């Protein structure tokens, strides 16, 4: 059996090496390392894959979130509603821009924003909501968009973990993660479902004027060379990364199917184990399994993690401390028990190896050892 890894990028590269190497060689030969033709080609291909009218690439998922809030014209002191159970970037960019993060808790079943709590924290200063499509399934977007519409708020989707996931609205129409809000953000960090070989990110929008503004802001606010229309960032997707992503986008459906098959195998094998709860997929969304995350029930996590590790099974805890309890965000004034679901999840979640190269033998081994440990 191959050594089990949390994410296996070497195995994935070995399968696409021919295509990948020639794509990279082309960029090297052209020497157009910034704003080369692959960047525009990738943006167009990703727009067509997701159904977004416009895709604007940038240097990371974090930058995408920051650019989104900048382009929407949010002002210092404006409030942005999001969740404390997420990767730090979602909240970091709000704080960096002098905006105020306001949290609502997540749902215990799907780990995404509890939309029913949003209205109770809206104030006259609230300007935007950032739902996070955590671990690969989407937040409950239809009721959230409804709240946003009624209160005239922007919606910025953090789709960094959910590229290709789809929400079905009550009229039956499918909508891809990142294309439902005013702006959607994604990340191409190497371990993400569509990962490049370094940092990268992109923004989705249906609004042409907003796309134009995002493009401007991602390139120093510069339209005409050395003439600056607004304060911007240096946040571009390298041509080499765009070339990598064009190759991987052609395989994304297979990659997603491999993740979903691995998840289905895990879930079938772990269904009868009372000490773990396998992931719930909400009826409104598909799940692209960026992570396969269990909830442990009445099991001490640390010794389990150590025993699995000793048996050659890596695991990870996403995320061990919710953001409202982090030192960096203490000034927001939140306390323990303000968001009990996030706090409980931080203590009981455990993510198993999940990537495109997991095979049946590895999954059977993981499940066998895990079951023994939990007897
Ligand atoms: C990865 C991630 C980000 C940040 O993306 P980077 O490309 O690493 O900057 C933001 N939000 C979530 C939920 C993520 O998983």
Residue (of 81, 58, 208) closest to 148 by Cα position: 81
pLDDT per position as a tens digit, 324-345: 999 999 999 999 999 999 999 9
In the numeric block, which tokens belong to residue 164?
Answer: 């290709």
Q: Kindly state if the Cβ of 319 falls inside 6 Å of ligand 1.
A: no
Please report the pLDDT score of residue 261 as a whole number: 98
Segment 265-291 mean pLDDT: 97
> Do 65 and 130 touch, CB atoms closer than 8 A?
yes
Segment 168-175 mean pLDDT: 97
pLDDT above 90 covers a percentage of the chain that reads 100
CA of 60 to the centre of ligand 1 (A): 8
Residue with the smallest CA separation from ligand 1 atom 7 is: 61
| Per-residue pLDDT band at 375 (split at 50, 70, 90) | confident
What letter would DSSP give residue 206? Answer: S
Nearest ligand 1 atom to the CA of 199 is 7
pLDDT per position as a tens digit, 113-159: 999 999 999 999 999 999 999 999 999 999 999 999 999 999 999 99
pTM: 0.98
Q: If residue 35 lies in a helix (H) or strand (E), which one and from where to where?
A: none
Hey, is 186 helix, strand or coil?
strand
> What are 352's strand-pairing partners?
292
317, exposed or middle or buried, with CB in 10 Å at 0-12, 13-18, 19+?
Answer: middle
pLDDT per position as a tens digit, 56-69: 999 999 999 999 99
Mutate to test the pocket of ligand 1, among 111, 160, 188 (most ligand atoms within 8 A of CB): 160
Q: Kindly state if the Cβ of 195 falls inside 6 Å of ligand 1.
A: no
Cα–Cα distances in Å, from 159 out to 11, 133, 136, 293?
25, 5, 8, 17
Residue with the smallest CA separation from ligand 1 atom 10 is: 89
């Amino acid at each position: 059996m191959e050594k089990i890894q949390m994410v296996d990028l070497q195995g994935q590269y070995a399968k696409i090496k021919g295509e990948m190497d020639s794509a990279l060689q082309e960029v090297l030969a052209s020497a157009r390392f910034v704003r080369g033709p692959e960047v525009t080609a990738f943006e167009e291909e990703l727009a067509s894959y997701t159904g977004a009218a416009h895709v604007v690439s940038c240097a990371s998922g974090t930058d995408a979130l920051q650019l989104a809030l900048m382009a929407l014209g949010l002002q210092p002191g404006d409030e942005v509603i999001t969740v404390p159970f997420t990767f730090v970037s979602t909240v970091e960019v709000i704080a960096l821009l002098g905006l105020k993060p306001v949290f609502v808790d997540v749902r215990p079943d799907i780990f995404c924003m509890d939309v029913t709590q949003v209205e109770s924290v809206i104030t006259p200063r609230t300007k935007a909501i950032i739902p996070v499509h955590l671990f690969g399934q989407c937040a409950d977007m239809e009721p959230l968009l409804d709240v946003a519409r009624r209160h005239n708020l922007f919606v910025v989707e953090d789709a960094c973990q959910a590229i290709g996931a789809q929400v079905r609205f009550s009229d039956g129409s499918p909508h891809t993660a990142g294309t439902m809000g005013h702006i959607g953000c994604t990340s191409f960090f190497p371990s993400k479902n569509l990962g490049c070989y370094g940092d990268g990110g992109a923004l989705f929008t249906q609004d042409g004027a907003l796309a134009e503004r995002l493009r401007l802001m991602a390139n120093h606010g510069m339209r005409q060379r050395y003439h600056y229309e607004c304060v911007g960032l240096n946040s571009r997707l390298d041509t080499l990364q765009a070339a990598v992503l064009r190759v991987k986008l052609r395989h994304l459906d297979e990659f997603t199917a491999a993740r979903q098959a691995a998840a289905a195998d895990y879930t079938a094998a772990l269904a009868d184990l009372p000490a773990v709860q396998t992931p719930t997929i909400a009826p409104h969304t598909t799940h692209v399994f960026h992570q396969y995350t269990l909830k442990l029930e009445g099991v001490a996590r640390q010794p389990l993690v150590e025993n699995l590790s000793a048996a050659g099974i890596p695991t990870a805890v996403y995320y061990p401390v919710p953001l409202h309890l982090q030192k960096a965000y203490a000034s927001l004034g939140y306390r323990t028990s303000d968001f009990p679901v996030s706090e409980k999840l931080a203590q009981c979640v455990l993510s198993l190896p999940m990537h495109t190269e997991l095979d049946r033998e590895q999954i059977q081994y993981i499940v066998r050892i895990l079951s023994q440990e939990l007897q």
